Amino acid sequence: MPDTSPSTMISLVRETVLPDLPADFGAEADFFEAGLDSMGVMQLVMFLEERFAKKVEPEELSRANFRSGKALATLVNEKAA
Amino acid sequence: MNPDVLVIGGGSAGVAAALAAARQGADTLLVERHGFLGGAGTASLVHSFCGLYELPATPDAAPKVANPGLPAELERELRAQGIAQGPIRMGRVDVLLHQPHKLALFYDRWCAHEKNLNVLLHTEVASCSVHQNRAAELSLLCRGRSWSVRPRAIVDASGDAVLAALTDHAWESTPSDELQRPAYIVGISGVEPAAFAGDGPLKVSGCLARAIRDKNLPAAVSGAHFRAGTMSDDAFLTLDLAGDSPEGAFDPNDPRSLTWIEREGRETVCAIIEHLRMALEEFVNARVTALPARAGIRESRRWVGELVLTEEDMLESRCGDQAVANATWPLELRETARGPRLLYPREPKACGIPLGCLRARDLRNVFIAGRCLSATHRAQAGIRVMGTALATGQAAGIAAASAESATGALAQRVRKVLSGLET
């Protein structure tokens, strides 16, 4: 079972789209305020689908679900459940 | 036809250089290879002015134009004439959104007003002789017809440092795998506004991600993003491209590479629109309404000037005695086609670009403006934007129109002229 904690999600976002995310970026801090845009979300979706072997459905594509490490962890965990 | 000042390239930098030189009383000739002025802001459909405003000192600080004179005049007029909307805060910066075809008209009229300025479209420089550390005679070319001019001073605002290449002057380029990637931008119409509001852009992104995964669209689509235009039904699709072809790595000065980028850009954006028309109801009536005259190149050759602007100059907001143009845009790295990486100065302050970065190291009568000025690869990522290009163009134009002198004294003269201009 892969690690789907908020801190892992933040690391994944840093790895794929926001390399300059600070080390102390919190679980509820806002990725969009830190520079995440729609192009970044596209890359993140492709990356998450590959990493967790789950499809992100169109209705799950919302700012709320991609806002923070905590939100992303919830999204991925719900999909895994 | 021997002008006092010849300006090569009619983009943001070249237009500003030509206007500034002409307003100083110099008989000025501006040559542009396309059929209209504006450079990236028209020919490549770059639809916003970046670097036009100061970096906001606080989140609620009111936007202020970063440079006096022509940038301030352009900002005021574009807004007053309804050509541009804004300024609009995007994250930590302010931008002005404009309509590319109206910008072309604006530049025509702006230049036509200036009695000392002649503009020749469809004209480029074919060769240049050098005599005693000066660019001497240049051959201009239009549709197979060529003629010579002997200007007193030259501003290279070509974006590609063409005069450095033609004279074998020192220039630098970045290894292909680190170059800023090119962008292919098209105008589109017929998209429902909901696609660009709220969660709309994320739904579009998700739809494209799925199409890439299912191999219905090529991987190059991952560099795509949309932005609503200034008119209700207008939008732009920007595709960042890796630029590497099966035949070779990205090279912004190689016609084979440029040809591949144009074709790849057109194929990919048209495939995106066709796919979205089928997949999303907001795009049922979407269509491509404007192709660029050329793909947007962010970086190619850079001149080696008397001074070389560095990343630290930008991040430390250095501003010395020779400063003649304020650079306020973060270093916007686009070394991949997967979105920007922005590096901001440590304090929200402008870097003052010194005149030595706008002056060729070994040719006394050659000045430089726009994205090919003398800067490192990293610093160029901050100064290449159109708002800053207007400012470097203006400074280079004033300098070129002045009787030649030592760079320090010339910088003081440019600064004196700038201090008397509209803010």
Structural domain contains residue A14: yes
B213 touches chain A (CB under 8 A): yes
Q: pLDDT band at A3, cuts 50/70/90?
A: confident
Q: Work out how many domains chain A is built from and give that number.
A: 1
Q: What is the pLDDT of residue B359?
A: 98
Q: What is the pLDDT of residue B167?
A: 98
Q: Which residues of chain B have pLDDT under 50?
A: none
Structural domain contains residue A52: yes
Q: Is B409 exposed, middle or buried (0-12, 13-18, 19+ CB in 10 A)?
A: exposed
Neighbours of B246 (CB within 10 A): 5
Look at A20 and B341 and tell me if their CB atoms are within 8 Å: yes
Assign B38 to helix, strand or coil: strand
Domains of chain B: 5-174+300-419 (3.50.50.60), 181-290 (3.30.70)
Let me know how many helices (H) and strands (E) chain A has, helices first.
4, 0
Q: Is B30 exposed, middle or buried (0-12, 13-18, 19+ CB in 10 A)?
A: buried
pLDDT tens digits, A10-39: 999 998 889 889 999 999 999 998 889 888
Substitution target in A61, A72, A79 with the highest count of B β-carbons within 10 Å is: A61
- Which residue among B202, B209, B340 sits closest to A62, beta carbon to beta carbon? B202
Structural domain contains residue A48: yes
**Which residues have C-beta within 8 Å of that of residue B187, sequence separation ≥ 6?**
B45, B100, B229, B234, B235, B236, B288, B289, B290
Structural domain contains residue A23: yes
Cα→Cα distances A5→A40, B50, B174, B283, Å: 20, 38, 40, 37
pLDDT at residue A80 above 70? no
Structural domain contains residue A20: yes
Structural domain contains residue A1: no
CA-CA distance, B111 to B23, in Å (whole number)? 11
Q: What is the pLDDT of residue A81?
A: 57
Which domain CATH number covers A39?
1.10.1200.10
Look at A39 and B338 and tell me if their CB atoms are within 8 Å: yes
CA-CA distance, A69 to A8, in Å (whole number)? 8
Look at A61 and B203 and tell me if their CB atoms are within 8 Å: yes
Domain ranges, residue A72 = 6-80
Q: What is the pLDDT of residue B403?
A: 78
Q: What is the pLDDT of residue A58?
A: 84
Judging contacts by C-beta atoms under 8 Å, the chain A residues touching residue B226 are: 38
